[in-house]
Homo-oligomer: A and B are copies of this chain.
């Protein structure tokens, strides 16, 4: 019988992040993570499929936040305003996890296989956003472009957020303003 484990999931995430940072991702095993978190390997596997999934646990939530925000936008909103507001809502939802986001980004940057995985998740996010825009009646090509712009803004703003600027939604708005400026120039 499993014993009661207060926030085992949270402790596993922090333990994994600490070990990936200390030893490197490739050199860390699930057994190491479970031990550091003070739980069994079996408990690890009740929460995560594998050691990679600890880092990508938030991707599905991010995607559903973005898709829901696109669906919720006023029906007369323009595609670029819709995607901008969706990315801002995503930033609001991540705002209280800046330390986690920064540490995670450093691990991903140091590990090519994780970098590829991250790019795949962002490409999936872009496809989902484009589909959500098409559901609103935006034709396929502008929907795909607006979705790609949204992900581009997210990436650029994310880098600003974890390096310089503590408020993620502000970074999104600044990147959107820079995007408009490119087109006004």
Contacts and interface: CB of A to CB of B under 8 A. Distances in A.
Contacts of A181: 142
Oligomeric state, in copies: 2
Nearest to A148: B152
A78 to B, nearest CB: 5
For chain A, the bracket of interface size reads 20 to 34
A106 interface: no
Main secondary structure of the interface of A (DSSP, over half): helix
* Residue of A115, A152, A153, A155 contacting most chain B CB atoms (<10 Å): A152
A1 interface: no
Contacts of A153: 145
B117 A178 contact: no
Given A141-B160, A152-B148, A153-B145, A185 B116 contact: no
A182 B117 contact: no
Interface string A131-164: 0000000000110111011011101100110000
A179 interface: yes
Given A116-B120, A183-B80, A185-B80, A152 B145 contact: yes
B182 A180 contact: no
A185 to B, nearest CB: 5
5 contacts: A78-B182, A79-B185, A80-B183, A116-B116, A145-B153
A60 interface: no
B146 A149 contact: no
A160 B142 CA distance: 12
Given A117-B116, A120-B116, A141-B175, A182 B79 contact: yes
